């Protein structure tokens, strides 16, 4: 992906590859490794993601061993492209599947399969070197059968289970920050005025493949996660009259 290449092709070329082990040291004297070893202290970059499964009952085409077709995926919460941060995703399926370890190297990070059983899928996220050298593991239970057991299953309406979460990167490296500061998928902190890191030259959008899921075939089923809703409920709870008692006496 050209985006990635741009990121790695920062002026400190030698440093970018050599300095993969990111140091915690705030300011390295060595200008070559600046981009990777300089970290933004007390700042965090967060990446809101949604991960989950959508399962369709196959109806007439169902067999004993393959009654459902399901897709497990990791997408950006706003359906933006995650590939600037995530390098690859590994889905670990039930051992009864062929090659239960499925690796997705490019967005959209998803996997479709047919099966009959529900099990826990382990999703491992691997990030680009300047982002984080550790993987992050998520777990998701594949749900095939709807809650409501009344009547036959519909082939039109899938069983959707999604979880919203945010991946937080504390003390991100400057290179990472520079790369993603204008990325719509990423939440970056606002830096004080005068803090300028030059972003790499914008890629030619037509050249790279679309990694976002805005027009994904399954996007109609994606759940809406409204933060506002939750915030409202929380605020209302805190405002409850009896909660004010704690401030008196």
Partner 1 sequence: MDAKDILGLPKNQLPIPQEKKSRPPKEPQRKPDGISREVYALTGGLAPLMPSVDVSQLKRRPPSDEKVTWQWLPFTNSARKDDLQLFHWVRVVNGVPPTGDYAFAKYNKSANIIKYTDEEYEKYLTDPAWTKEETDQLFDLCERFDLRFIVIADRFPSSRTVEELKDRYYSVSRALLSARAPPADITGHPLVKEPYNISQEVERKRALSMVLSQTKQQERKDTEVLAEAKRITESRMAAKGPEESELPAVANIGPDNSQRAITGDAVTPSTAMPSSAIAASSTLMADNASTLASLRMLRVYLRTYALDQMVQAASASAGLRTIKRVEQTLQELGVNLKPKVPTKAVCAEHLELRKEILTLLNLQKQLQYKEAEGTSFQDSPYSETPGTPKRAPRGDQDRPFMPDPLGFGGDRFGKRDQKRKAPGRTSEAAQSPSQSKRPRKMKASDI
The residues that touch partner 1, with contacts defined as CB under 8 A, are: 22-24, 42-44, 46, 48, 127, 131-134, 136, 138, 164-171, 187-191, 225-227, 229-231, 233-238, 240-243, 245-246, 248-249
Q: Which residues contact 180 (CB under 8 A, 6 or more apart)?
A: 45, 84, 85, 186, 188
Q: Which residues contact 72 (CB under 8 A, 6 or more apart)?
A: 51, 52, 53, 91, 110, 111, 113, 121, 123, 140, 142
DSSP H helix total and E strand total for the chain: 5, 8
- Smaller CB separation from partner 1, 46 or 92: 46
Q: In what order do the strands lie in the sheet with 136-141?
A: 101-104, 86-92, 120-127, 136-141
User: Minimal distance in Å, beta carbon 228 to partner 1?
Assistant: 9
User: Minimal distance in Å, beta carbon 91 to partner 1?
Assistant: 17
- Smaller CB separation from partner 1, 18 or 234: 234
User: Minimal distance in Å, beta carbon 205 to partner 1?
Assistant: 21
Residue entry with tokens 């490794």: 33
CA distance 226 to 214: 17
User: Minimal distance in Å, beta carbon 116 to partner 1?
Assistant: 29
Quickly count: other Cβ atoms within 10 Å of residue 169's Cβ: 22
- Smaller CB separation from partner 1, 44 or 118: 44
User: Minimal distance in Å, beta carbon 124 to partner 1?
Assistant: 12
- Smaller CB separation from partner 1, 138 or 218: 138
- Smaller CB separation from partner 1, 37 or 67: 37
């Amino acid at each position: 992906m050209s985006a990635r290449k741009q990121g790695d092709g920062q002026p400190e070329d030698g440093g970018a590859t050599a300095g993969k082990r990111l140091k915690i040291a705030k300011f390295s004297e060595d200008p070559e490794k600046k981009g990777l070893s300089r970290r933004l202290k007390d700042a965090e970059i967060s990446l809101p993601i949604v991960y989950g499964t959508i399962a369709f009952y196959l109806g007439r085409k169902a067999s004993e061993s393959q009654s459902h077709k399901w897709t497990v995926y990791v997408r950006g919460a706003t359906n933006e492209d995650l590939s600037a941060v995530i390098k690859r995703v590994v889905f670990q399926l039930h051992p009864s599947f062929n090659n239960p370890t499925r690796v997705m190297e490019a967005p959209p990070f998803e996997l479709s399969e047919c099966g009959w059983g529900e099990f826990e899928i382990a999703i491992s996220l691997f990030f680009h070197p300047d982002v984080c050298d550790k993987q992050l593991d998520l777990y998701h239970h594949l749900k095939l059968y709807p809650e409501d057991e009344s009547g036959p299953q519909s082939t039109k309406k899938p069983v959707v289970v999604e979880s919203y979460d945010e991946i937080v990167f504390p003390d991100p490296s400057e290179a990472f920050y520079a790369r993603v500061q204008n990325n719509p998928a990423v939440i970056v902190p606002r830096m004080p005025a005068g803090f300028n890191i030059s972003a790499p030259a914008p890629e030619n959008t037509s050249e790279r493949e679309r990694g976002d899921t805005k027009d994904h075939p399954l996007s109609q089923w994606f759940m809406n996660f409204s933060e506002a809703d939750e915030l409202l409920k929380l605020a209302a709870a805190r405002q409850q009259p009896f909660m004010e008692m704690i401030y008196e006496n």
